[in-house]
């Protein structure tokens, strides 16, 4: 009987070890996927910042051009004789 109990304990230990390895593998996969997600988010942030900075520069340029055109239109409206030849 003692021998049968020893085999049973060995089987239980084997099952526990197998379950432990499966849990470790699962945790490893989760950790890897979290790392990949983190890397993607860092890359996305960098790309987005670059694109937004470029867009901001373009908007600044357009705003300056619009202000210049507004001044020119205001001048032309206030002084139409400047444009008569």
Tens of pLDDT along 62-73?
A: 999 999 999 999
Q: CB under 8 Å to 75, separation ≥6 — which residues?
A: 82
Instruction: For residue 79, give the DSSP letter.
Output: -
pLDDT, tens only, 44-57: 999 999 999 999 99
On whether the CB atoms of residues 78 and 71 are closer than 8 A, the answer is: no
The band of 1, judged by pLDDT with boundaries at 50, 70 and 90, is: very low
- pLDDT higher than 70, residue 85: no
Check whether 3 has a pLDDT greater than 70.
no
Confidence of residue 2 (pLDDT cuts 50, 70, 90): very low
Residue 21: pLDDT over 90: yes
pTM, two decimal places? 0.61
């Amino acid at each position: 009987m003692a021998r049968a109990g020893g085999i049973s304990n060995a089987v239980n230990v084997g099952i526990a070890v197998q379950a432990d390895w499966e849990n470790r593998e699962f945790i490893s996969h989760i950790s890897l996927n979290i790392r990949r997600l983190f890397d993607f988010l860092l890359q996305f942030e960098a790309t987005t910042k670059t694109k937004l900075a470029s867009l901001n520069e373009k908007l600044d340029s357009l705003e300056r051009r619009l202000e210049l055109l507004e001044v020119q239109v205001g001048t032309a409206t206030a002084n139409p004789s400047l444009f008569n030849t």
